[in-house]
Chains A and B, each alone.
Chain A
Amino acid sequence: MTDAPVSILGTAVATAFGVTVEENCDALLAGRTDFCPPRHFDARGRLLGVDPELDGGAGSRMERLLEKLRDAVTFPIPPGTRLFAATTVGAIDLLERGGKQDTVEEFLHLAERIFGIPGGILISAACASGQTAAAVAVRELRRGSCRHALVLGADITGEFVTSGFAALGALSRDVCRPYDAGRDGLTLGEGAAALLLSASEPGFGRITGAAENGDARHITSPDLSGEMLSAACREALDGLPPDGVIGHGTGTVYNDQAEIAALARLFPGGPPPLFSLKGNLGHTLGATGVLQTALGLELARRRVLPPQAGLRTPEKGACVSTETRRLGGGRLLSLNVGFGGLNSALVLEAL
């Protein structure tokens, strides 16, 4: 996608670190992590990136997360804004309790009601859902289907997802260590983020490129050659190198290896600085792409990449560091990868 950039008019986040982009970025730069055993279900001693403020209450944890995100929104949402909502499992705790079974439909209804935007579109593309939703919104804006788009990504922690990833052997024994040579799996997290986009109004940032594709190789493992992920990056970058990369960086052996391989293909002279926020917040699934964009834009504005939380010995080929790094400019490449071999690349710029 190499058409005109789309402006970012507003960003909002809701995580365990707080409800402003600034305090979340401060937490990343301080190397803060908030992994702890959850109180809302028995995680068998595992640590998760949980937000204790979401505990309690009768409804879905997702409802409380979306309300927290709504309260974090400080920008006006113009009338006629179209909603693009991303998730993997939605309000999955309702199914756990024997309630509503169509948990993504319920998520969409909650998002529409809480943000007051009917007629929303739910986008699910496994762990690439967030960036895929942003890319779909960008294209709808360029086509003129709407004047403004609110892209929202959210996922919660719970027994359903934790037991599932445990069954796949994908969880870290301790906490995740993205791009570390000794990494042993991911740590689940929860959070939400929102972007207000426009194709016609100026903003404080912009999305200049987006591309998605699929490996078409394996249902759970990424292609370790990074072939298609690098192709998505190449298409999104459109010939202009980034100043840094917000990676997907889950901390699983295969995911990180595929990303490193893709970046090596793309930058044979040496990859740009790389950072994954999952070392701080855990893997927030369908939210991560929107969180990466919202927080990445603030990091791009400050021209810094945070120290990589969890890092001890960098994996060969990964340009990661335990130190905060200055960036040469405000142009970042953000990556999402998902089950099914899904790849997504998004390029954002701070203005």
Chain B
Amino acid sequence: MKITGGALMTRERAFRTLVRRGSFGPFADLNAARRHLTALPGMVSGDLNDFGRGGETVRRVLLTALLAAWDSGGALPESTGVFGWNGDGCVSEDLIYWRDYVSCGCEAGRGGLFVATLPTIPCCEAAITLRCRGRVAYFRTEPAAARLEELLLAAPGGTYLCGETTSSSVCMLLADTRLDGPPFPEASVLKEVFTALEERP
């Protein structure tokens, strides 16, 4: 399996890419990051018309996914799958929905907040934006990157965008499971995989 691209967003809204060794930001807010990143030469065309629809997690994932695709050289194959792995899942979105519902006297929830309470929603939003029509799933496993690698290698051969989202970072890697490459470095989180790969020549 070969890692063909990747992007990391930090708590300060700064971005790094894996293959092109790009560094962008930090940005004052996500809209500023969006303006800058989507203007990069050769940036893939993604449907960001609904950028404001999702919560902050979705918007962070969308920007990082776009940058990972850019880092891999452009548009992704339509068959690309999107996997979420570990990280925070949708804990903050669950709390946002429920606290809003309770604060409104438990009379009515907000549909837009409810939809975000599925851990696959950021993956699906990335798939819609990048027009990826492969399989989408969120996995929670023991904290070992080898487990994610195993899941990828068991999946049908192709391109996969894998993401890990926490309150402090978003990391997305593009993997082509049909190509040969070194195994994932030993790591407990995807961000560590990214930084270890950065250090490889």
Query: Chain A: residues with CB nearer than 8 A to chain B?
Result: 1, 88-89, 92, 95-96, 101-105, 108, 119, 121-126, 132, 136, 139-140, 142-143, 145, 159-160, 163-169, 212-220, 228, 338-342
Instruction: Say yes or no: is B2 at the interface (Cβ < 8 Å to chain A).
Output: no
Judge whether B106 and A219 touch: CB under 8 Å. no
Query: Chain B: residues with CB nearer than 8 A to chain A?
Result: 50, 53, 82, 89-91, 94-95, 97-98, 101, 106, 108-111, 114-115, 117-121, 123-125, 127-128, 130-142, 147, 150-151, 153-156
Q: Distance in Å from the Cβ of A176 to the closest Cβ of chain B?
A: 19
Given contacts A216-B132, A339-B120, A339-B121, 17 further A-B contacts (CB under 8 A): A1-B156, A101-B94, A105-B89, A121-B139, A121-B147, A123-B137, A125-B120, A125-B138, A132-B137, A136-B137, A145-B150, A165-B114, A166-B108, A168-B114, A216-B128, A216-B130, A340-B136
In the A-B complex, the 8 residue pairs with the smallest Cβ-Cβ separation, listed nearest first, are: A340-B124, A164-B114, A122-B140, A167-B109, A163-B109, A167-B111, A212-B135, A168-B111
Judge whether A125 and B136 touch: CB under 8 Å. yes
A168-B115, A342-B136 are known contacts. Are A163 and B141 too (CB-CB below 8 A)? no
In the complex, 19 of the A-B residue pairs with CB atoms within 8 angstroms, ordered by the A residue number, are A1-B156, A89-B94, A119-B142, A121-B139, A121-B147, A121-B151, A125-B136, A139-B155, A159-B106, A163-B106, A164-B117, A212-B136, A214-B124, A214-B132, A214-B134, A216-B128, A216-B133, A220-B115, A338-B120
Judge whether A105 and B151 touch: CB under 8 Å. no
Q: Distance in Å from the Cβ of A144 to the closest Cβ of chain B?
A: 9
Q: Distance in Å from the Cβ of A279 to the closest Cβ of chain B?
A: 24
Tell me if A's interface is mostly helix, strand, loop or mixed.
mixed
Q: Distance in Å from the Cβ of B119 to the closest Cβ of chain A?
A: 5
Alpha-carbon separation in the docked complex, A145 to B139 (Å): 16
Judge whether B128 and A102 touch: CB under 8 Å. no
Alpha-carbon separation in the docked complex, A239 to B97 (Å): 44
Judge whether A126 and B118 touch: CB under 8 Å. yes
| Selected contact of A342 from candidates B115, B120, B141, B156, CB within 8 Å | B120
